[in-house]
Amino acid sequence: MSGHSTYTPKTKFGKFWDDRLPIYRLVHDSFVTFPIPRNLNSFYTFGGILMIMLVSQIITGIVIAMHYVPEASMAFNSVQDMRRDVAYGHTLQTWHAVGASFFFIAVYIHIFRGLYYGSYKAPREILWILGVIIYLLMMATAFMGYVLPWGQMSYWGAQVITSFFSAIPLIGQTLHEYLLGGYAVGNATLNRFFSLHYLLPFMILGIVILHVWTLHVTGQTNPTGVEVKSKQDVVPFTPYATIKDAFAMVVFMIVMCYFVFFLPDYLGHADNYIPADPLKTPAHIVPEWYFLPFYAVLRAVDFNIMIPFTDVVLIDSKLGGVLAMFGAIAILFFVPWLDTSDVRSANYRPLYKIFFWLFVANSVFLGYLGSRPAEGIWIPLTKASTFWYFFHFIVIMPALGWFEKPKPRPASIADSVFGKEDGSAGAAAPSGATAAPETKG
């Protein structure tokens, strides 16, 4: 896939560098001549959008860190002062806060795109796992960043999330105190969270480089799920992907700017405009929207798990909730092996397609449930929705591979594209384009 390099330095200067540090060659091979399937749709632009979001978060983060004071009695006011007194301070601070939300919007679209088109299947398991690691690091970074403004939601969010670790048997309590640097969330916690919040994005950047590297080894998937077979199937990265990604980024930025400039508080929570108060918990504490589905999973386990026919508690409700929540993320690591189907793209998997959209709807619903108070009808709904989340991965995904009868796939990307050009139904089955048995589609 990656093929051998076609870069030839044109100038003496270029040759000088190429013999010593072939960085132009690397860029040329990775982002200029790198072949991409010609049939990628707009959902494939979110990788590029995420790259821009990461860079934008790092840059705005470095800049607002210059005006922020990581000290419990000053942190809250320092954010307000930055917004009022620093030139463009309000824009930069809001950009960073709203940017975190849009980073997650983009990453969720990216993940669901991967689930739809089977982007995790061989030979892209490592690519997928690196992606899940990035997602985990993003969650850690976003959580610690949300603590820094030191409002009520920051404080009580930190209180709740760090308490997860106290659920671990034997070492939990000690671990909790080590995490906080005290007996409760306080100045020490704020300081270390600031330090780690600054560090983690650079770790994300490192893994992103590996993620892109693996992508460039295996090549991209595409909506047909058929691997690239010939030069007919591909176009060079530049200008075709570059211009498309650039267009998508700007459109994404327009939506984001609408929120940054006109609805800066829409995605946040009003209680975070009240300074942290260790004596008073807000009436409804909820995490940021991007954690809501996992928060719902956490709350779904409100019962002890006993050893059958005894009174011995095997896993108490607290540990059970935490395990379920981490399990909901951890299960993503196993998706490449949970899906037993040979067919990659959901376009050719009539049943999986239905269950995929059900899963999407269920995830959104789970998020909504996470924002509701834990009372009344919400409790059984949360349990049902959580059950479906795991059921989808553990039962439906493996089972579909055995039961589902896939639709015929095109023999190649070019067939699918040129078939469409002819006016015949390209995606369905152009004549003679039925997949060969050994072809993964």
Partner 1 sequence: MSRAARGAAFRQAAGFNYDFKPLVSSVNERKRMTKVSSKLLTLVGSVLVSLTLIGSAIAASGYPINKPREVDWSFAGPFGKWDLGQLQRGLKVYTEACSACHSLSILHYRNLTDLGYTEDQIKNYINDLGKEVTDGPNEDGEMFQRPAQLQDRFQGPYANLKEAAAANGGAVPPDMSLLAKARAPERGFPTFIFDIFTMYAENGPDYIYSLLTGYKEPPEDKEILDGLHYNPYFAAGTALAMAQPLYDEQISYDDGSPETLDQYAKDVSAFLMWASEPGLPDRKQRGFIVIVFLAIFAGLLYFTKKKVWAGVPH
Partner 2 sequence: MSDAKEGEGTRRDFLYLATGAAGVVAVGGIAWPLLEQLAPNAREVAAGAPVEVDVSAVEPGMQITVLWRSKPYFVRRLTSEELEAIEGAEQGAFRDYVSAETRLAVPGSEGDDSAEAAPAEWTIVAANCTHLGCVPTKVETGLEGWVCPCHGSIFDAVGRVMKGPAPTNLPLPPYNFASVNRLVIGEEGSRA
Residue ranges binding partner 1 (CB under 8 A): 38-40, 77, 80-81, 83-84, 90-91, 94, 235, 239-240, 243-244, 246-247, 250-251, 253-254, 257-258, 260-266, 270-271, 273-274, 283, 354, 357-358, 361, 365, 368, 372-373, 376-378, 417-418, 420-421
Q: What are phi and psi of 172, to 5 degrees?
A: -50, -50
Element (H or E) spanning 205, and its range? Answer: helix 187-218
Residue 119: CB minimum distance to partner 1, A:
19
What's the CA gap between 179 and 159, in Å, rounded?
A: 11
* 66 part of the interface to partner 2, by CB under 8 A: yes
What is the nearest approach in angstroms of partner 1 to the Cβ of residue 120?
23
Strands 35-37 and 234-236: antiparallel
Of 25, 38, 67, 318, the residue at the interface with partner 2 (CB under 8 A) is: 67
The H-assigned helical ranges of 32-124 are: 46-65, 75-85, 89-116
Using CB under 8 A, which of 30, 91, 238, 434 touches partner 2? 91
* Token pair listed for 134: 């990035």
- For 257-323, give the DSSP string: HHHHHH-TTTTS-GGGGSB--TT---SS----GGGHHHHHHHHH--SPEEPTTSS-EEE-HHHHHHH
Among 49, 92, 180, 397, binds partner 2 (CB under 8 A): 92
Residue 309 interaction partner, one of partner 1, partner 2, none, beta carbon < 5-8 Å per kind: none
Nearest residue to 53 via CA among 290, 257, 249:
249
| Long-range contacts (CB closer than 8 Å, 24 or more residues apart) made by 366-369 | 366/292, 366/293, 366/296, 366/297, 367/289, 367/292, 367/293, 367/296, 368/292, 369/292, 369/296
86 binds, among partner 1, partner 2, none (CB under 5 to 8 A by kind): partner 2
Of the candidates 87, 254, 283, 312, which one interacts with partner 2 according to CB under 8 A? Answer: 87
293 touching partner 2, by CB under 8 A: no
372, interface contact from partner 2, partner 1, none, CB < 5-8 Å by kind: partner 1
Residue 387 interacts, among partner 2, partner 1, none and using kind-specific CB cut-offs from 5 to 8 Å, with none
Per CB under 8 A, the segment of 82-90, 106-114, 197-205, 325-333 that binds partner 2 is 82-90
Token pair recorded at residue 55:
């860079």
Judged by CB under 8 A, does residue 83 bind partner 2?
A: no
* 50-to-102, 142, 146, 229, 261 alpha-carbon distances in Å: 9, 15, 20, 28, 21
* Among the listed residues 71, 85, 265, 277, the single contact to partner 2 using CB under 8 A: 85
* Complex with partner 2: residue 259 or 389, whichever CB lies closer: 259
Asked if 332 is part of the footprint of partner 2 (rule: CB under 8 A), the reply reads no
Alpha-carbon 292 to chain mean position: 14
Tell me the CA end-to-end span of the chain in Å, nearest whole number: 17
Partner from partner 1, partner 2, none contacting 337, C-beta within 5 to 8 A by type: none
| Footprint of partner 2 on 44-63 (CB under 8 A) | 59, 63
User: How many residues sit close enough to partner 2 to count as binding (CB under 8 A)?
Assistant: 14
Within 13 A of 257's CA, how many CA atoms are on the CB side?
Answer: 6
* Alpha helices per DSSP H over 331-412: 335-338, 350-371, 378-391, 397-403
Min. distance of Cβ 197 from partner 2 in angstroms? Answer: 19
Secondary structure (3-state) at 121:
coil
Contact 411, 421 (CB under 8 A): no
Neighbour tally for 3: CB within 10 Å: 10
Choose between 255 and 358: whose C-beta lies nearer to partner 2. Answer: 255
Residue reference for tokens 């609408």: 258
The partner in contact with residue 133, picked from partner 2, partner 1, none with C-beta cut-offs of 5 to 8 angstroms by kind, is none
Task: Decide if 271 contacts 151 (C-beta within 8 A).
Answer: yes
* Among partner 1, partner 2, none, partner that 87 touches (CB below 5 to 8 angstroms by kind): partner 2
Partner that binds at residue 59, options partner 1, partner 2, none, CB closer than 5 to 8 Å by kind: partner 2
Q: What are phi and psi of 275, to 5 degrees?
A: -60, 150
* Residue 168 interface partner, choices partner 1, partner 2, none, CB cut-off 5-8 Å depending on type: none
Is there binding between residue 254 and partner 2 (CB under 8 A)?
no
CB of 3 to partner 1, least distance (A): 20
Shortest Å distance, C-beta 172 to partner 2: 43
89 binds partner 2 (CB under 8 A): yes
DSSP character for 226?
P
Residue with tokens 């030139």: 87
Which of 16/266 has CB closer to partner 1? 266
Nearest distance in Å: CB 161, partner 2: 31
Taking CB under 8 A as the rule, does residue 88 contact partner 2?
Answer: yes
Binding site residues, partner 2, CB under 8 A: 59, 63, 66-67, 81-82, 84-89, 91-92
